[in-house]
Amino acid sequence: MNKKVRVRFAPSPTGPLHIGGVRTALYNYLFARKHGGTMILRIEDTDQTRFVPGAEDYIVESLAWCGINFDESVGVGGPHAPYRQSERKALYKQYSDQLIASGHAYYAFDTAEELETLRKQAEAEKQTFTYNTETRKTLRNSLCMSAENVNELIENGTPYVVRFLIPENTEVAMDDIIRGKVCVKSETLDDKVLFKSDGMPTYHLANIVDDHLMEITHVIRGEEWLPSLPLHVLLYEAFGWEAPEFAHLPLLLKPDGNGKLSKRDGDRLGFPVFPLEWTDPFSGDKSSGYRESGYYPEAFINLLAFLGWNPGTEQELFNMDQLIQSFSLERVGKSGSKFDPEKTKWFNHQYLIRRSDEDIAAEFMPFLLEKGIEADALFVARIASLVKERLNFVKELWDETYFFFQSPESYDEQVIKKRWKEETPSQMLALKEALQNIEPFDAANIDTEIKTWIEANNFGMGAIMNALRLLLVGAAKGPHLGDIMALIGKEETLKRIQKGISTIK
């Protein structure tokens, strides 16, 4: 690569950022960092009708949470500021004028009602109306009018749009880093609006002008923009500008592979499709987020990276630096990537078990405080070490360990039926005596002493340990009993045994 790489993520703030959008941002970021390039965030908010309050802040916060940083953006500034298109408004008209002057664009005066009628007529004949190389010859535009007529209409303040003039009978050749060479016939394209009567450019014009002015070298974006590529390539040609390289990323598919992963799939199937929780400002509806669901940002970006890319090796765990090292657009697949909710949790599990017990304890503290429990950090860290292998999320820690913090309030009926026999109370009382003498009261010592005591009394290991677990935990769950007793301590152990014996009938 001879030019210094400059890439951009260019979201429209029309709602919360879908995970597909975060993946696009991530691939741009990885590509920029890998090549020592520049990563730009540009807010594409020219369509005022689709503006959603809070969406831009949401996008910025989401990307920051993921560790995706920008060198140039609305917040950071940069040599091509402003980075919000609505603030660049004044800049686009000259480019629209330039295309009209060079014969690549034209004025169209068709009203919305006229176009709607044409659409309906076509529909009635089971066809679709498009403003294209054929139809434009019979419509109300500057191609079919005299210059005086056009000037008059404009001077009278007749509303108009500027449309791109798709050349007739040509092939548009495009090159995509992921898809290779693609060719389309110009007749299949329509004369898209570039500039609207409200003085605002459309996405197409603003996007190309800004990519050019911001010296973007690679456009990496979702596959849904592939249909716009011929127009974009033609726009670069019309302006006489060198086009950037393009890479269109594969779609994210529903878990069953049938169609694009949508916002509704997440709600329906019980997994987030947004990085952060989002409350719709109009309806008040909440959508869940990865952050609030307990995902580590490291796990989130790791799993996102794998939705469309693979390193070509067996390795699945990559931190951001490793992703930067290994990433290449050549290893991004063409076909859609199925979203796998279970694999998503697996990634978080992998990151959780690699965290230090102290970190997990610190993350669990707020959950304990919410329950009014103030626990010692070291104590919680030791508990975390016993059960973290079973967890996908820190929030699951409570269900696995609540009995470390409180003595059982009830005893599982099923377990009582199965494990609590005639002889159990007297056995447990005797065991209590035996435990009393264990010193020091650590797991290894407890294990050996209990084993010796069981053998000496000729009791069954299973019968004793299961009943003891019921007394200490209240249910048939939890880590190794010796560890539980050592952690809650001798006094609490003996208390729980006594309490259980008197409670269970």
DSSP assignment, residue 93? H
Tokens of 120: 């309906």
| Min dist. Cβ of residue 295 to ligand GLU (A) | 24
Sheet arrangement for strand 193-195: 105-108, 161-164, 193-195
Helices (H), 202-291: 203-213, 229-239, 263-269
Identify the helix (H) or strand (E) that includes residue 40.
Answer: strand 38-41
Residue placing its CB nearer to ligand GLU in the complex, 308 or 478: 308
| Cβ–Cβ under 8 Å, residues 89 and 199 | yes
Residue 399 makes CB contacts below 8 A (sequence gap 6+) with none
Residues forming the site for ligand GLU (CB under 6 A): 10-12, 44, 203, 207, 221, 225
| Catalytic choice (196, 263, 395, 495) | 263
Helices 481-488 and 443-457 cross at an angle (nearest 10°) of: 120
Report CA 330 to chain centroid distance, whole Å: 22
The Cα 183–Cα 149 span in angstroms is 38
Q: Are 489 and 447 in contact (CB under 8 A)?
A: no
Which H/E stretch holds residue 382?
helix 377-387
Q: How far is the CB of 83 from ligand GLU (least distance, A)?
A: 13
Which residues, 6 or more positions from 65, have their beta carbon under 8 angstroms from its beta carbon?
Answer: 275, 276, 291, 297
Residue placing its CB nearer to ligand GLU in the complex, 110 or 223 = 223
Nearest alpha-carbon partner for 494 in 438, 423, 456? 438
Tell me whether residue 214 or residue 384 sits nearer to ligand GLU (CB atom). Answer: 214
For this structure, is 263 an active site residue? yes
Count the helix, strand and coil residues of the chain and give each as a percent rounded to the nearest 5.
50, 10, 35
Give whichever of 184 and 416 is closer to ligand GLU, judged by the CB atom.
Answer: 184
Whether the bond between 82 and the residue before it is cis, its omega within 30 degrees of 0, is yes
Q: How far is the CB of 65 from ligand GLU (least distance, A)?
A: 20
Q: Which is nearer to ligand GLU, 133 or 207 (CB)?
A: 207
**How many Cα atoms within 13 Å fall on the side-chain side of residue 6?**
21
Nearest distance in Å: CB 355, ligand GLU: 34
Minimal distance, residue 116 CB to ligand GLU, in Å: 26
Residue number with CB closer to ligand GLU (20 or 474): 20
Question: Which residue's CB is nearer to ligand GLU, number 203 or number 404?
Answer: 203
| Residues assigned a catalytic role | 263
